Amino acid sequence: MGQKMPRWVAEGYQEYAGRMPRELRLDLRELASGDRGKGGNPARAREVEGQRLLQAVPKGARVIALDGGGRRIDTEALAGAMREWLQDGRDVALLIGGPDGLDDACLKAADQRWSLSPLTLPHMLVRVLVAEQLYRAWTLITGHPYHR
């Protein structure tokens, strides 16, 4: 969720997305956040964001919700999941919520729920972190020295 990210976010994401091989191309879909302005309703904003996220998921994709209440994974587990994704051949949609997290509809639609950290992370930083971790998992699979 979110558009018009600071330059460092776009550059950080692009740094790692650009390193990924063709068969694991990252496709970032930036969606407009719900209205949280004066008089805005955060619960309604999260619901609108959830609808937008689910509409953006490719048909038949494996859906993974990045959620603080999800299962904690480490890099090795991510590499294992990536191996499965490569064998499965389906698109994978990693859902990153807005400032108030993911709507319940997204959590219910998810095949899996993962927690990146017990810390509360800003949603714009999560996209950089996820891109780096996907690249790191790829290097672990391929034996590249980046992951050491």
The binding site for S-adenosyl-L-methionine comprises 66, 97, 116-121
Q: What is the dihedral of CA 62, 83, 116, 58, to 10 degrees?
A: -20
- Collapsed DSSP state (helix, strand, coil) of residue 64: strand
108: which residues sit within 8 A by CB, 6+ positions away?
none
Annotated binding residues, as ranges?
Answer: 66, 97, 116-121
Using alpha carbons, select from 15, 18, 17, 137 the residue that is nearest to residue 80.
Answer: 137
Q: What is the CA radius of gyration of the chain?
A: 15
Q: How far is 43 from 134, CA to CA, in rounded Å?
A: 31
